[in-house]
Amino acid sequence: DFEKAFEEVKPAFGASTETLESYRTHGIIPCGDSFDHLRQTLGMLVQQVKNSDKTPLISVVLEGPVGSGKSALAASSAIESDFPFCKVITSETMVGFAEQSKASQITKVFEDAYKSPLSVVILDDIERLLEYVAIGPRFSNTILQALLVLVKRQPPPGHKLLIIGTTSMSDVMESMGLNEVFNVSLHVPSLRVDEIVKVLRALDCFAVADIPSAVDLLTSICAKVVPMKKLLLWVEMARQDVPEGHKLTLQKWEQALRDLS
């Protein structure tokens, strides 16, 4: 039946380090202090779980606009933690499953984590896990209730667990009481002008002298702040037929921005 149909594919979306890598396909491009601070804080929480006996459970939620880099940051922290058990809970491996079944799979990951001395569990895109839609609003209360309990449930004595959630709807999570069950909440912002400059430089796609104008075009045609993922996509599209080794011209850049927005 339906759920079986996925089994062959699921492994491809498994949860080994390899899978974690797939959450940062464009790498982690250095882009300024706020992102560095975020990564440091996450690192500090990893250490806290590892070292303190009185805090065997720490939970943190990363919230920010669509495409700002939440999943990449969460995956990075998990990879760098070197914890023996790292797993991403994502709706991508549960498309079309019934809510009971999803809740069961989510719980199973936590049960597995409790068996490892040190674990990271990533709850990626919590609103999607909850099957949330603003019209209604509708969502799976079964899954919500499971999360409300699982994020607070202490692992058994001697076991330690770091939970990292990501969401682009922190107001929704608040109204569901989900924010409250996380110990810490961190904001992942869209890129501001100075950060966009850093990213464009790192991408090495414009002539250095063109970068200020390129950023001007971007912020005037589109928006003042741009999420990381969108920026990377637009650059990629604009340089489509730029021959290997050539830089992107401002003209082509403007053209692409106008076509797509």
Ligand X SMILES: Nc1ncnc2c1ncn2[C@@H]1O[C@H](COP(=O)(O)OP(=O)(O)OP(=O)(O)O)[C@@H](O)[C@H]1O
- Could you say whether residue 128 binds its own copies (CB under 8 A)? yes
d(CA 69, CA 236): 17
Residue 166 corresponds to which tokens in the numbers above?
């990501």
Q: How far is the CB of 19 from ligand X (least distance, A)?
A: 14
d(CA 60, CA 63): 10
What is the residue type of 13? F
- Could you say whether residue 168 binds ligand X (CB under 6 A)? yes
Q: Are 201 and 83 in contact (CB under 8 A)?
A: no
- Could you say whether residue 139 binds its own copies (CB under 8 A)? yes
Q: Give Dmax (Cα) for the chain.
A: 62
Tell me which of ligand X, Mg ion, its own copies, none is bound by residue 6, counting a contact when its beta carbon lies within the kind-specific cut-off of 5 to 8 angstroms.
its own copies
- Could you say whether residue 5 binds its own copies (CB under 8 A)? yes
Interface positions, 71-90, toward Mg ion (CB under 5 A): 71
d(CA 76, CA 120): 11
Among the residues of the chain, which ranges form H helices?
Answer: 4-7, 17-21, 33-51, 70-81, 99-115, 126-129, 141-150, 170-175, 178-181, 193-203, 211-221, 228-238, 250-260
Positions touching ligand X (CB under 6 A) are 24-29, 31, 35, 66-73, 125, 166, 168, 228-229, 232
Positions touching Mg ion (CB under 5 A) are 71
Positions touching its own copies (CB under 8 A) are 2, 5-6, 9, 12, 22, 25-26, 41, 44, 47-48, 51-52, 54-55, 66, 91-92, 95-96, 98, 100-101, 103-104, 106-108, 111, 114, 128, 131, 133-135, 137-139, 141-142, 144-146, 148-150, 153-154, 156, 175-177, 180, 183-184, 232-233, 236-237, 240-241, 259-260
